[in-house]
Amino acid sequence: MAKRGNRHQGKRSSTVGLVLVMLLMLTVVLLMLLGLGVLSLPIGFDDAQIGDSIRLKRLKLDVSKSRGERGQQWTEIISWEPRAFVYHNFLSKEECEYLINVAKPHMQKSTVVDSKTGKSKDSRVRTSSGMFLRRGRDAVIRDIEKRIADFTFIPVEHGEGLQVLHYEQGQKYEPHFDYFLDEYNTKNGGQRIATLLMYLSDVEEGGETIFPAAKGNFSAAPELSECGKRGLSVKPRMGDALLFWSMHPDATLDPSSLHGGCPVIKGNKWSSTKWMHVGEYKV
């Protein structure tokens, strides 16, 4: 009896051993697969879409948690002069609504920078209203700012606070540069190097961001307003983000970055701007 018991025990322990070895092998295979997943960058070219505008598809790279579901994220290169890219579905619907709701009670008439004094002044060039949200203000904003840094490769600390803008029917921002031509505004962080413009709403008609000095062959799509047909333009789409560089890679200013917001013809336009500097911007 005792001998039979030993034999059963022996059999049982060799089965347990076999299961353990198999589990170990499975773990090794899983780790290898995971490793390969990490090593193969989640960015790939979609050959079928390489044409007039080169499209770079970004597979779902969840660099940070976002509030709400985001659609498929991918990057569209829209111009090399200026260097400009559209990140599709950069923000979720919930994040767009969050920014609008936080800013809404505090909106004030937008101003422009006086190039002689460097101070803010009221102007008919810019008829929207807006407000600044302090950098790192809360967890949602920190999350968005981290995502901006990940996509632009510009540290969070180089960015100004997010500015939320609201354009009602007829409101616009005439073409201008985001870089400064005065010394006053470059004291903190140096020159502005790039801008990320996030669209927080769709716009029924008009409200395109336009680059009138962009170089290249741009077809005037029929859905664009007359203003939008006067250069390279981007139609606002909730959640999309437009990144453009105000400086060349050799750190000289890029005049082809001249840009503006076309008048809104129908509907409302909400957007949020992140201006980034060459150095740390103290808040």
Ligand X SMILES: O=C(O)CCC(=O)C(=O)O
* Binds ligand X by CB under 6 A, chosen from 240, 261, 263, 264: 261
Q: Which residue is nearest to ligand X (CB)?
A: 261
* Per-position x/- string for 185-204, each x denoting binding to ligand X as judged by CB under 6 A, each - no binding: ----------x-x-------
Nearer to ligand X, 54 or 265 (CB): 265
The one segment of 22-30, 58-66, 136-144, 254-262 that binds ligand X by CB under 6 A:
254-262
Residues 137-176 that bind ligand X (CB under 6 A): 165, 173
Nearer to ligand X, 62 or 204 (CB): 204
* Residue at token pair 């911007």: 281
Nearer to ligand X, 54 or 228 (CB): 228
Tokens found for residue 10: 């022996």
* Binds ligand X by CB under 6 A, chosen from 209, 225, 246, 257: 209
HSE-up of residue 43 (Cα within 13 Å, Cβ side): 8
* Binds ligand X by CB under 6 A, chosen from 83, 259, 274, 277: 259
Residues 68-87 that bind ligand X (CB under 6 A): none
Residue 250: partners with Cβ closer than 8 Å, 6 or more residues away: none
Q: Does 271 bind ligand X (CB under 6 A)?
A: yes
93: nearest Cα among 101, 85, 83, 105: 101
Q: For residue 9, how far is the Cα from the chain centroid?
A: 63
CA dist., res. 171 & res. 50, Å (int): 36
HSE-up of residue 130 (Cα within 13 Å, Cβ side): 24
CA dist., res. 78 & res. 84, Å (int): 6
List residues binding ligand X (CB under 6 A).
165, 173, 178, 195, 197, 209, 259-261, 271, 273
